[in-house]
């Protein structure tokens, strides 16, 4: 199962909460590629940030201009 690092690239506001550049989560996922994480893995990313930081991120922000995703293994 691949592990991904998902890191915020720029500051933005989502659902009245400030999301700061540099916030990062690690995600274990069945999704096989970084490109698919932006499409099929949106809910995993949203849930990880909510569970770790209490920040609800709108799906429209899950794109490469806001997040950097690196496959760790």
Residue 73 in this model has a pLDDT that exceeds 90: no
The beta-strand segments (E) located in 1-73 are 3-8, 12-14, 17-19, 24-28, 67-71
Mean pLDDT to the nearest integer, 1-6: 95
pLDDT digits (tens, 9 = 90+) for 52-66: 999 999 999 999 999
pLDDT digits (tens, 9 = 90+) for 6-47: 999 999 999 898 999 999 999 999 999 999 999 999 999 999
- What is the pLDDT, as a whole number, of residue 5? 97
Q: How far apart are CA 56 and CA 19, in angstroms?
A: 9
Task: Domain ranges for the chain, please list them.
Answer: 3-71
Q: How far apart are CA 53 and CA 73, in angstroms?
A: 24
């Amino acid at each position: 199962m691949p592990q991904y690092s998902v890191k915020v690239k720029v500051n933005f506001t989502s659902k009245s909460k400030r999301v700061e550049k540099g916030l990062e989560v690690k995600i274990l996922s069945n999704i096989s590629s970084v490109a698919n994480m932006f499409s099929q893995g949106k809910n995993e990313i949203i849930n990880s940030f909510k569970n770790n930081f209490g920040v609800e991120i709108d799906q429209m922000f899950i794109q490469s201009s806001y997040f950097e995703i690196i496959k760790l293994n």
